[in-house]
A and B are shown apart, each in its own frame.
Chain A
Amino acid sequence: MLVTLPYEMPELVTRAPLDTHTSTVLPEWVDWNGHMNLAFYVTAFDQASGAFMRNIGLGRRYVDGKHGMTFVLETHVTYDREMKGGAPMRFATQLLARDAKRVHLFHEMHHAEQGYLAATNESIIMNIDYTSRRSAPWPMQVAERLESVWATHRDLPRPAKAGRVMGLAKK
């Protein structure tokens, strides 16, 4: 296991949920229905996951320095309301669970000005060894930071939209 990473760690944000990430719907994310295409919600959420990972010490330098990578294993999106090109987004991210190599994140995307909930996303993200491209435990320094984050997130109520199984409800 990697013990320390050879670059400076950012100041750790333990605020729960994590609310540092904001973004804007890009013109090329809009489809023939005149709204953000479903795939780019996943891209936007992936960037919010990136903000969470950077906070625990796994940003671009982690990959560029060939120390490791993180892969998404699974993701679930609820599309709650349309977003148009140029719409500002703010994200809130809750750590639902973690283990030696994985995190289970829950994101909410809100329209940053109008406030409405646009979508939610649950993702499982795994740490990957750079050379073997197989799963590996978090670097020790990262695991410690993750525990500090977990300490403030663990008591948040579980979001109602987490843990959904898809299906047509019979009426």
Chain B
Amino acid sequence: MIEPSLGAPLDVHRATVLPDWIDWNGHMNVGFYVVAFDKATDTLCNQFGCSWEYTREKIGMTFVLEAHVTYDREVKEGDPLRIATQILDHDAKRIHYIHMMYHGTEGYLAATNELMLMNIDYQTRRSAPWPEWAMERIGKLAAAHASLLRPPQAGRLIGIKKK
């Protein structure tokens, strides 16, 4: 297991917009923003040992319960992406966090993704507490993120505002 990166926010995930991710509007399609964010979730889960190997070895799985995306600006094919992740809250089985996607060189905010992730028992496919070793690391990450300001995109209520 890797040593968790305790910088706040977690800012290690990098990616590139793939040709397959582009739609007829000539930009990254709404679904593929979530594909890109999900890979950043793998990077987060890898910090506490609950990424691919966790499932491959049939130890457990993680399921997303709820997701909220704000699409802030377009990104095009080949654009570099930088995704930073902030843990907002956690309990014995869940983590509530938000990803911020930036254009890797121009720096603008392209999108945000707030998520609720739950630990799942491999056999029953039902919720289960985080393994002790994972919980300890999640606690360290959450403590490192505790002093960050809450992004305005977290906890949004969707709707058309009356002007």
List A residues at the B interface (Cβ < 8 Å).
32-33, 37-40, 42-43, 46, 60, 63-64, 69, 71-79, 82, 96-99, 102, 104, 122-124, 133, 163-168
Contact = CB atoms under 8 A, between A and B. Distances in A.
A82 B118 CA distance: 14
A74 to B, nearest CB: 5
A164 B159 CA distance: 10
Contacts, number: 112
Interface stretch (B8-16, B29-37, B99-107): B29-37
Contacts of A69: 25
A74 B91 contact: no
13 contacts: A39-B31, A39-B37, A43-B32, A69-B25, A74-B70, A76-B67, A77-B67, A79-B67, A82-B63, A124-B159, A164-B157, A165-B156, A166-B66
A63 B24 CA distance: 8
B63 A33 contact: yes
Contacts of A40: 31
B44 interface: no
Contacts of A104: 158-160
Given A43-B31, A104-B158, A104-B160, A168 B91 contact: yes
Given A79-B63, A133-B74, A167-B89, A43 B159 contact: no
Contact of B159 (A39, A64, A71, A97): A97
A40 B160 CA distance: 25
A42 B69 contact: yes
Contacts of B137: none
Given A42-B31, A76-B69, A166-B66, 10 more contacts: A39-B33, A39-B35, A46-B31, A63-B25, A69-B25, A73-B70, A75-B68, A78-B65, A78-B66, A168-B116
Contacts of A98: 160
Contacts of A43: 29-32
A118 to B, nearest CB: 13
A158 B67 CA distance: 20
B143 interface: no
Nearest to A98: B160
B69 to A, nearest CB: 5
Closest CB pairs A-B (n = 3): A43-B31, A39-B34, A39-B35
B96 interface: yes
A97 to B, nearest CB: 5
Contacts of A96: 159
B30 A124 contact: no
Nearest to B34: A39
A170 B91 CA distance: 9
Contacts of B35: 37, 39
A60 B24 contact: yes
A38 B25 contact: no
